[in-house]
Structure 1
Amino acid sequence: MSKSTMENLFFKSLRSKQIAVTVLALTLFVTIMSLVLYEGTKKSVALNVNGEELNIKTHAHTVGNLLAEQEIEVAEHDLVTPSVNTPIEDGLSVRWEQSKQVAITVDQENTSIWTTERTVSDVLAQAGIEVTEHDEVVPGLQQQLGEDNSIAVQKAFELTLDDGGNETKVWSTSTTVADFLKRENILLDDDDRLEGQMADVVMPNSVIKVVRVEKVTDVVEEPANFTVETRNDPALLKGREKVVQEGKKGTVSRKFEIVKENGTEVSRTLLEEKTITEPQKKIVSVGSKVVVASNNSTNVSVSRDNSSAPAGGKEFYVTATAYTAYCNGCSGITAAGIDIRSNPNIKVIAVDPKVIPLGSKVWVEGYGYAIAGDTGGAIKGMKIDLLYPTKEAAYKFGRRQVKIKVIN
Structure 2
Amino acid sequence: MTIKELFLQHTKFAKVLLCLTLVFIMSIVVGFSGNNKTIYIVADGQTKTIRTSDDNPQNIIKQAGVKFAASDKYTISTQNITTGTTITIHRNVPVKVQVDNNTKVIETNAADVKALVKKLGYNPLDYDTEPGVHAELRPNMLIKLEPLIAKITFRNMQEPFGTVYREDDSLEKGKTKVVQQGQEGTARLMVKEYYKGGTKVDEEILQKSVTAQPVPEVVAKGTYQEYQADSGYIPPYEYAMDVEATAYLPSDGSGSGYTATGMRAGRGVVAVDPNVIPYGTRLYIPGYGEAVAADTGGFSGRRIDLCMESYSEAIGWGRRDVRIYILK
Q: Report the structure number with the largest CA radius of gyration.
A: 1
Q: Does TM-score exceed 0.5, indicating one fold?
A: no
**What is the TM-score of this pair, normalised by structure 1?**
0.23
Structure richer in strand, relative to its length: 2
